[in-house]
Structure 1
Amino acid sequence: MRGIGEVARASGLSISALRFYDGAGVLVPAEVDPATGYRRYADDQVRAARLIAGLRRVGMPVAEIARAVHDLGDPEAVRHRLDRHRRRLEDGLADAQRELLRIHALLDLEENLMTRITLPAAALAATLDAVRFAAPSASDGPVPAGVHAECDPKTLTLVATDRYRLAVAEAAAAVEGPPIRLFLPLPFVDEVRAVRAGQVTLDLTAEAVRAETEDGVVEAEPLTFDFPDFRRLLPVGDRNKQVTVDTAALRVAVAAAPSTKREHEGTAYEISVLGVDPAGSVRLVAESEWAADAASHVAVRREFLLEALDAGAGGQLVLELDGPIKPLAFRLPGDDSRFSILMPVRH
């Protein structure tokens, strides 16, 4: 028999540790003097104490250590427990490394005043598709050719306008770094929009924008433009003025219907007039009807109307018609995160 001090020296466990494992039922002494409480261990318990010391150093939980000591007569069972604990340690190390990298990246973002936005490429492309039609095609107008981008901690918001129409779309995203507002140039937007697979990471600063995709890296300089407060322009939804339409059917009708020509500041275009019939359905209106009952109709540029319907991605759209001088609004049913408005053409 061996005393507790001898077992401590032979195993590498302290006397207090041996007392703890006794109390936990992991390594109970072979004998305990009833008068003095002095613990004595059998020779084969030294092997168990050494196992406990090793498992303690690698962070195995006490319950698992107890099972390993119980299985000491079956080396294969002990090895199985060791392998399982090693895999837990490796997984934990991998998780810790990822978290440390994320913290380093966050410190870099804050130091460089950079915002990093990560989201699926398909989600970003769909969000850009929903607003791209409303972006100016040339940079010589009052609004440059580009798309406004801003974010909060969980959402990327994209907005485009050429003054005659405005489109807004949101996408859920992982956002790290400070909030940011940038005007993205159209060539950058179109190149990123072409990628539909994998993840996209956007690194945004006041001086540069960078997108890392499966197809490579796209870089550009943001445009200098003080984008207006678009939220003031958004219509407040009035359910009494909302009509749900089949997007594809309305598009076919608009494309096939005769249109009226107009000219403004030397630019020729065609218009379409929409109205709501007594049954509550949207219909195309002839110009003679429009003139007779203008209060219930709205006229918009035909080209813009077709592009807005295409951006609706098929299915159904909710139209808000509020008379001839209010914008015509388009929303997805039950989804306020994407909508667009067309400015009316005055009669």
Structure 2
Amino acid sequence: MRSIGEMARDSGLGVSALRFYDRAGVLVPAWVDPVSAYRWYEPGQLEEARLLARLRRAGMPLPDIRLVLASWSGADAGLVRELLKAHLRRLEQGLSDARSEFSALRALLDHRENVMTKLRTAAVGLSVAASELAAALDTVRFAAGTDPELPMLGGVLFDVEGGSLHVVATDRYRMAVARAGVTGHDGGRVQAIVPSPLADAMRALLDGEERVRLSVDDGRVTLEAGDRQASGQWLDHDFPDYRRLLPQADGRRAVVEVAAFREALENGPVRTTEAGAPELSVLKVESGGTVALCADGDEDPDRVAVNRRYLLDALAAGGRDRLVLELGAPDAPIALRRLDDADAFSILMPVRLED
């Protein structure tokens, strides 16, 4: 007999997924321990589990998967072929429909670009405290994207308006925002995306308490710190409107001691949704206002799963001994805020648990 952990490892289905498929009647274990409720599978069920994993990756709905599994080991191969062909036709039709919708969206986008004045970078020169800018970059740098298909996310946004410089980075799955006060800018809102290597070069110059000069002109971003300088081209792309993505402070809140919480994450229970997927930490806020990690089998309806490494990175970037953790619905973003600085925070997208 194979344990549920062994089946998860060898089939590509996570433990939580196997539980879900058991309850759905799709892949029922051969035996369940009446005391511990632990699931055990016969060796022959591994082939079914692998087949199930393939069908789910192909997006086949559960009712059809149930029929495929029921017919797979029998003589009715014709039914299996018909089910596979029908699902492939649905996928092809869906792709055709998606292409039509994207063509319409591109036409709308072209029209908007022709009739609207987009926010573009204007020449600007300002002064900022080196320590403030260093802290802001340290807060957000971990969230910058690396996907070559999304070059607009491959840097750090410098967003200047009035006496504030907001520094923002996101890779779609997480976003971090920080603020530094500036002087010398009296104009309107100005934005520039600083490529990650240039942002790192700027950060290397910010090792004192003096004020430094930041300027944007003719497609270049320059940071001057005394007689040292870091300069380069800004990314000629549009950054997402991060202000529309900011979380609302209306979820369950808990103050976490960062060192203790980090240790709990590093040594506590983890889950995976499928083979090769990142490890997840599953969190919940208990009645006393403390954050707990859900053990395997904890079915709390308000639990929230998050990429463990992303959460550890956000804790480190928070730069404080204590942070506020906000959890909303299981499908709502998770927020980490500073107690003493409402303008510095991270948000992380949750990961859906199949069970």
Normalization by structure 2: what TM-score?
0.61
Tell me if structure 2 keeps the 8 A contact 1:248–1:314. no
Show structure 2 runs of 5+ residues with no match: 1-120
Listed one character per residue, the Cα deviations across residues 121-156 of structure 1 (whole Å, up to 9, x for unaligned) are 111110011111110135344643101111112110
Contact 2:152–2:235 under 8 Å retained in 1: no
Alpha carbons 1:116, 1:177 under 8 Å: kept: no
SS at match of 1:211: strand
Partner deviation per Cα, 1:236-288 (whole Å, 9 max, x = no partner)? 112x6211111121111111113222459xx6311111111222200111232
Mark the CA change 1:206 to 1:286 in structure 2 (over 3 Å): closer, same or farther.
Answer: farther
Deviation, 1:117, is 2.1
- Mean alpha-carbon deviation: is it higher for 226-235 or for 156-165? 226-235
Aligned 1:141-180 pairs, distance under 5 A: 141=150, 143-176=152-185, 178=187, 179-180=189-190
Instruction: Pick the aligned partner of 2:219 from 186, 200, 207.
Output: 207
Following the alignment from structure 2 to structure 1, what is the Cα–Cα distance between the partners of residues 333 and 195?
A: 26
Aligned match of 2:198: 188
CA-CA distance at 1:334 after TM superposition: 4.2
Amino acid at match of 2:236: T
- Give the Cα–Cα distance (whole angstroms) in 1 for the partners of residues 151 and 173 of structure 2: 12
Change in CA separation of 1:113 and 1:228 when aligned onto 2, cut-off 3 Å: closer
Letter of the 1:201 partner, please give it: R
Cα deviations across residues 145-178 of structure 1 (Å, max 9, x unaligned)? 1011111121100110000011111111113253
What's the counterpart of residue 303 of structure 2?
297
The structure 1 residue matched to 2:266, chosen from 255, 276, 281, is: 255
Asked if 2 retains the 8 angstrom alpha-carbon contact of 1:273 and 1:287, the reply is no
| Distance in 2 separating the partners of 1:113 and 1:319 | 37
Distance 1:113 1:148, change over 3 A: closer
Do the aligned partners of 1:170 and 1:338 also contact (CA within 8 Å) in 2?
Answer: yes
Task: Report how far residue 119 of structure 1 moved.
Answer: 1.3
The amino acid that maps onto 1:183 is: I
Q: Please point out which of 251, 261, 273 is paired with 2:282.
A: 273
Deviating 4+ runs (over 3 angstroms): 137-144
What residue is the counterpart of 2:34 in the other structure?
Answer: none
> Contact 1:159–1:169 (CA<8 Å) still a contact in 2?
yes
1:342–1:206 distance in 2 versus 1, CA, 3 Å: farther
Provide the C-alpha distance between the structure 2 equivalents of 1:214 and 1:258, rounded to a whole number of angstroms.
Answer: 49
Letter in 2 for 1:248: A
- 1:325 is paired with a residue of what secondary structure? coil
Deviation at 1:298, TM superposition (A): 0.7
Describe the shift of the 1:263–1:278 C-alpha distance in structure 2 as closer, same or farther (beyond 3 A).
same
Q: Which amino acid aligns with 2:178?
A: A
Q: Describe the shift of the 1:215–1:341 C-alpha distance in structure 2 as closer, same or farther (beyond 3 A).
A: farther
Q: Deviations over 1:75-103 (max 9, x none)?
A: xxxxxxxxxxxxxxxxxxxxxxxxxxxxx
C-alpha spacing 1:116/1:256, structure 2 compared with 1 (3 Å): same
Distance across 2 between alignment mates of 1:223 and 1:316: 35
Greater Rg over alpha carbons, structure = 1
Distance 1:177 1:140, change over 3 A: same
Distance 2:227 2:147 in 1: 27
Which structure ranks higher in relative contact order (CA pairs < 8 Å, sequence separation ≥ 6)?
Answer: 2
Q: Counterparts of 1:183 and 1:245 in 2: how far apart (Å)?
A: 33
TM-score by length of 1: 0.63
What's 1:222 paired with?
Answer: 234
Q: Letter of the aligned partner of 2:352 in structure 1?
A: R
| Closer, same or farther: CA 316–144 of 1 in aligned 2, 3 Å | same
Kindly provide the amino acid, as one letter, of the partner of residue 172 in structure 2. R
Q: CA deviation at 1:302?
A: 0.7
Q: Which runs of 5+ in 1 are unaligned?
A: 1-111
RMSD: 2.0
Q: Distance in 2 between matches of 1:257 and 1:130?
A: 25
Q: Structure 1 212/317 Cα, relative in aligned 2: closer, same or farther at 3 Å?
A: same
In structure 1, give the amino acid aligned to 2:255.
T
Match of 1:124, SS state, is helix
| Identity %, equivalent residues | 40
CA distance in 1, matches of 2:218, 2:190: 8
